Structure 1
Amino acid sequence: MWLFLILVLVPIIEIALFIQVGGILGLWPTLAIVILTAFAGTVLLRSQGFAVMGQLQNSMARGESPVNPMVNGALILVAGVVLLTPGFFTDAVGILLLIPPVRAAIIKWGGAKMLNSANVHVYSNQPEQRPRNQPNDTVEGDFSVIDEDKDPGNSGWTKH
């Protein structure tokens, strides 16, 4: 239902804005503004896209979660698509999506919506923490070092 409303309402809004702005400025200035905003959006999209790629690489190198740079990158991609779509309303939406605090607010709102509507399971490879009052279950054993020259064979489990 939302997609249907968007596909119907956005063109109606764009047509109404074209008529209003075209009536005030005239045909050629209106078209020039649409072309200039598409060009400016392309330049901003490229520069911010490279910045987000750098953030993604840095977060991966530090071993941090790449989710935030990925979501920022996705919103910048959406901004680029709507900026390349002719129209004043879509240009305004695209420019808003290129503003980092606006993207942060959208990510925060979307994250809250997802947490309220999803079951989250967290798994960790960290060892389980024991309460201090439980005894330590230590297993004692003997071991022997196998001399590499006397290796019984390569079972696939041993290192050569």
Structure 2
Amino acid sequence: MPFLFLLALFVVVPILEIYVIIQVGQAIGAVPTIALLIVDSILGSLLMKSQGRAAWRRFQLALAEGRVPGREVLDGVLVIFGGAFLLTPGFCSDIVGALLLLPPTRAVIRRIVVRRFSFSVLTDAPSPRFRRGPGGSTGPGDADVEGTATEIDPRRLP
């Protein structure tokens, strides 16, 4: 699976980007296409800057309120990825970057990411579909947890 992801990332995506750039260049001309890519990168960096600052303010507000800033951290990560996609030359990556930077679409993507990874992060399990519970059923509540606990003297911590 990681091989296929890397193959898509480093081979298929650049070929797709080049194809789209060529098609746009044929439709509007080479100079307007290059100008559009440059303007797109500049606007993307400005959008990343404003959204990054907003995410940082929300992060600081959550800390000041004594809340765990989980949502704010994820927003910051999505803003960083969105900015990287927008700064990368190409129209397909710009679309992905814009989706990650615009607050309404970022909220949808954030919900998808949280839903996809929350169970495995909370339980440190690969996925609920690989566990069999009582009676052969599967699901988040079916996992048995075994382990040991050791009391540690806080004075001995570094």
Same fold (TM over 0.5): yes
Largest Rg, 1 or 2: 1
2:21 aligned to 18, 25, 28, which one?
A: 18
1:85 aligned to 69, 84, 88, which one?
A: 88
Which residue identity is paired with 1:40? L
Cα drift, residue 106 of structure 1: 1.6
Change (3 A) 1:51 1:115: closer
The ranges of structure 1 where at least 4 consecutive aligned residues each deviate by more than 4 angstroms after the TM superposition are none
Quote the Cα distance in structure 2 between the aligned partners of 1:63 and 1:120.
24
RMSD, aligned CA? 1.4
SS in 1 for 2:99: helix
Cα drift, residue 65 of structure 1: 1.3
Which residue identity is paired with 2:54? A
1:81-120 residue CA offsets vs partner (Å, 9 max, x unmatched): 1111111111111111111122122221121122343453
Counting aligned pairs with the same residue, the percent is 39
Question: Could you list the runs of 5+ residues in structure 2 that have no partner in the other structure?
Answer: 125-158
Indicate the residue corresponding to 1:99 in structure 2: 102
Question: Could you list the runs of 5+ residues in structure 1 that have no partner in the other structure?
Answer: 122-160
Alignment of 1:55 with 2:82, yes or no, is: no
Which residue identity is paired with 1:64? R
Q: Aligned pairs, how many?
A: 121
Cα drift, residue 4 of structure 1: 2.0
Alignment of 1:76 with 2:79, yes or no, is: yes
Quote the Cα distance in structure 1 between the aligned partners of 2:88 and 2:11.
15
Indicate the residue corresponding to 2:41 in structure 1: 38
Higher helix share: 2
Quote the Cα distance in structure 1 between the aligned partners of 2:105 and 2:91.
18
TM-score normalized with structure 2 length:
0.72
